[in-house]
Amino acid sequence: MSLVLAAAVLVVAAYLLGAFPTAALVARRFGHDPIAEGSGNPGASNVMRVAGTRAGLFVFAGDVAKGAIATGAGMALDGRDLALACGLAAVIGHTRPPVRRKGGRGVAAGAGTVLVLFPVHGAVALVTWLTLVRLVGRASVASLTIVVGLPVSLAIGGTPGRELAGIALLAAYLVVRHADNISRLVRGEERMLREPGTTA
């Protein structure tokens, strides 16, 4: 198999890996349906909201792993360009799955990609996200902050143009995926990460 064909196959595999329904499977183990409850979003934040912290952390870890595995596979096959392409494919698979109507926001899968490509920046972003969640109680605020801030941080750090462009594209896509959250924030209607009645 030629390298080009192998790369194409890997990108498709990364998309399908990203589409793996982590949130739905974990939430059902805890007796919940993230599509029918909370915000209706099949992601870690909504699972944490409706099924508790432990369930949410399982989903978060699984979604981060999807992005990291896809990116790492691309890196192993043909370096950083393919790694970024596979990471983007995994995020798109997570947000736009082929067999379900709704996907997640993509931040956790994107975090997996960033942690492989830029581990220091990824770790700082994760700590920042956790800190902001504790301060403001809204995952969307924390997510949008790190999504917008990451390309700026990478640019200041001298990241090469092609990689910086790829991360900026990822960031722009994730902002678009948060359009509903942004509208609710403007109206003062955005949900808290944890709501009364959920279990820890």
| Predicted local distance difference test score (pLDDT) of residue 196 | 45
- Residue 133 inside a domain? The answer is yes
* Per-residue pLDDT tens over the stretch 122-131: 999 999 998 9
- Residue 156 inside a domain? The answer is yes
The one-letter code for the residue type at 100 is: R
- Residue 36 inside a domain? The answer is yes
Q: Which residues of the chain have pLDDT under 70?
A: 1, 194-200
- Residue 200 inside a domain? The answer is no
User: Hey, what long-range contacts does 170-173 have (CB within 8 A, 24 or more apart)?
Assistant: 170/87, 170/88, 170/91, 170/110, 170/113, 171/147, 173/91, 173/92, 173/95, 173/106
The number of folded domains in the chain is: 1
Q: Please, are residues 136 and 143 in contact by the beta-carbon 8 Å criterion? A: no
Q: Please, are residues 47 and 55 in contact by the beta-carbon 8 Å criterion? A: yes
Look up the domain containing 96 and give its range: 3-187
- Residue 197 inside a domain? The answer is no
Q: How far apart, in whole angstroms, are the C-alpha atoms of residue 200 and residue 188?
A: 26
- Residue 71 inside a domain? The answer is yes
- Residue 198 inside a domain? The answer is no
Q: What token pair was written down for 95?
A: 């947000």
- Residue 14 inside a domain? The answer is yes
Q: How far apart, in whole angstroms, are the C-alpha atoms of residue 164 and residue 199?
A: 40
| Cα atoms in the Cβ-side hemisphere of radius 13 Å centred on 100 | 22
| Predicted local distance difference test score (pLDDT) of residue 39 | 80
Give, as one character, the DSSP assignment of residue 33: -
| Predicted local distance difference test score (pLDDT) of residue 195 | 53
pTM of the prediction? Answer: 0.90
